[in-house]
């Protein structure tokens, strides 16, 4: 995939004399020491990272870590004091006022934590606002607004006022407004943190559904480690204005960079962020539909298992057979096809482990992981789900 955003050695200082703070940083003074000696606050300190096109890149950290300061640098709401920000190969830090206006209107959009809706405008007028600023005709912006409201599940709500909507619905309006300009990059600054837990979970899932269709480049800010690991393709963890570790959720959970990261993730509910693909095993042993009963029995016996999945030449899943049924079938002169069972569960690679718990409790067999063509990709044993995962 191509690099969409590239940040190099970015630093942002708050105060009247940022140069003094920059010199102290070069002398390896800490954020607290610089505040004490100069009165300047280090918001972001020498940060570098890349975001691929179509990726959800999550920046996570506690309050004061610099994550919101950093995301506001990406659209120059915060002007960096040092460093470069390349978008599609152009250093936007060097943009003049006209370049910056065009960039904000056409390439990038932001969704804020507290919705930022105009209370005196209808839902539809709120969505149209950015298009109106761009002098888009009334007919076209009305059409786009209707389309965006439908995209975020608010079809028919355009004539309502924001105060008639729930918090989750208001955030959908904010998202529709951001999407109306068809930006390449979407910045989301803790967009779900003000929502109730159940609504928040629904919005996370809706964002993932939207992303599967729209494939925007998204930079998402959160202080919630479960949220970060659930929606992020990769996650950057910040502390004191610096990025401590960048990686996939699996990489960070499996190989924490230091004690800070280890403490950060130790209490995470892994069933909410780990997916089927993270815990499945290679689909072996298997038997083919052309194999006989004795092949099936020998395969199960040699591997110490009581059931085995059956596939065709293309590894399309046909069913499962058990050792008891196989022994009985040999005695009764039956064939392999006669005893293939269908009373097992299947799932796809993206299913979260927490959503597999009911199946794991109920099933007698491993759970089969399949693709959209029912090709067997992997096998999940019940213990991997029920144990809550092992570090």
Does 290 lie in the same domain as 173? no
Residue 312 pLDDT:
93
- Mean pLDDT, residues 186-204 taken together: 85
Does 318 lie in the same domain as 226? no
Residue 71 backbone phi and psi in degrees, to 5: -65, -30
Name the band, by pLDDT with cuts 50, 70 and 90, for residue 115.
Answer: low
Q: Which two tokens stand for residue 160?
A: 């309502």
Residue 391 pLDDT:
44
How high does pLDDT run on average in the chain?
Answer: 90
Residue 389 pLDDT:
45
Q: How many domains is the chain built from? A: 2
- Mean pLDDT, residues 330-340 taken together: 94
Does the pLDDT at position 355 exceed 70?
Answer: yes
Residue 220 pLDDT:
96
Does 319 lie in the same domain as 224? no
Does 218 lie in the same domain as 264? yes
Burial 3-36 (b: 16+ CB within 10 A, else e): ebbbbbebbbbbbeebebbbebbeeebebeebbe
pLDDT digits (tens, 9 = 90+) for 205-229: 888 888 988 899 999 999 988 889 8
DSSP H or E run through 171: helix 167-180
User: pTM here?
Assistant: 0.74
Does 324 lie in the same domain as 195? no
pLDDT digits (tens, 9 = 90+) for 81-110: 999 999 999 999 999 999 999 999 889 998
Does 243 lie in the same domain as 97? yes
Structural domain boundaries enclosing 352: 277-386
Going by the DSSP 8-state scheme, the letter that residue 272 receives in this structure is G
Query: Residue 131 sits in a domain of what CATH number?
Result: 3.40.50.300
Q: How far is CA 20 from CA 78, 84, 203, 328, 387, in A?
A: 18, 20, 43, 84, 54
- CA 149 to chain centroid, in Å, comes to 22
Q: Which two tokens stand for residue 315?
A: 């590894």
DSSP-derived 3-state class of residue 125:
helix
Percent of the chain with pLDDT over 70: 98
* Residue 205 within any structural domain of the chain: yes
- Name the nearest CA neighbour of 229 among 262, 265, 178: 265
Residue 234 pLDDT:
95
Residue 201 pLDDT:
82
How far is 248 from 255, CA to CA, in rounded Å?
A: 10
- Mean pLDDT, residues 294-298 taken together: 94
- Name the nearest CA neighbour of 232 among 242, 240, 195, 245: 245
């Amino acid at each position: 995939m191509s690099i969409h955003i590239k940040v190099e050695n970015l630093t942002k200082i708050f105060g009247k004399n940022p140069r003094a703070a920059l010199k102290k940083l070069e002398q390896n003074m800490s954020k607290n020491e610089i505040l004490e000696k100069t009165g300047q606050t280090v918001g972001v300190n020498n940060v570098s990272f890349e975001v691929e096109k179509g990726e959800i890149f999550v920046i996570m950290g506690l309050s004061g870590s610099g994550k919101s300061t950093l995301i506001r640098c990406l659209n120059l709401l915060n002007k960096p004091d040092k460093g470069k920000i390349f978008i599609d190969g152009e250093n936007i830090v060097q943009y003049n006022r006209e370049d910056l206006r065009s960039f904000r209107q056409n390439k990038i959009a932001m969704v804020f934590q507290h919705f930022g809706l105009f209370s005196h405008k209808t839902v539809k007028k709120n969505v149209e606002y950015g298009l109106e600023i761009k002098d888009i005709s009334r007919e076209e912006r009305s059409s786009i607004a209707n389309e965006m409201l439908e995209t975020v599940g608010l079809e028919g709500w355009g004539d309502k006022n924001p105060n008639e909507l729930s918090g989750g619905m208001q955030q959908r309006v904010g998202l529709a407004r951001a999407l109306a300009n068809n930006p390449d990059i979407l910045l989301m600054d803790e967009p779900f943190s003000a929502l109730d837990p159940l609504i928040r979970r629904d919005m996370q899932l809706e964002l993932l559904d939207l992303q599967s269709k729209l494939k925007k480049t998204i930079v998402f800010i959160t202080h919630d480690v479960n949220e970060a690991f659930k929606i992020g393709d990769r996650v950057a963890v910040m502390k004191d204005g610096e990025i401590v570790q960048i990686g996939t959720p699996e990489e960070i959970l499996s190989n924490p960079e230091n004690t800070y990261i280890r403490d950060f993730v130790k209490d995470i509910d892994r069933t909410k962020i780990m997916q089927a693909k993270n815990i499945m095993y290679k689909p072996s042993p298997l038997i083919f539909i052309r194999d006989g009963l004795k092949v099936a029995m020998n395969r199960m016996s040699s591997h110490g298992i009581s059931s085995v999945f059956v596939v065709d030449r293309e590894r399309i899943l046909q069913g499962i057979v058990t050792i008891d049924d196989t022994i009985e079938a040999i005695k009764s002169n039956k064939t392999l096809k006669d005893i293939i069972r269908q009373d097992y569960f299947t799932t796809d690679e993206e299913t979260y482990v927490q959503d597999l718990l009911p199946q794991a409790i109920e099933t007698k067999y491993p759970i089969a992981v399949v693709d959209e063509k029912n090709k067997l990709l992997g096998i999940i044993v019940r213990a991997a789900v029920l144990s809550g995962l092992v570090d």
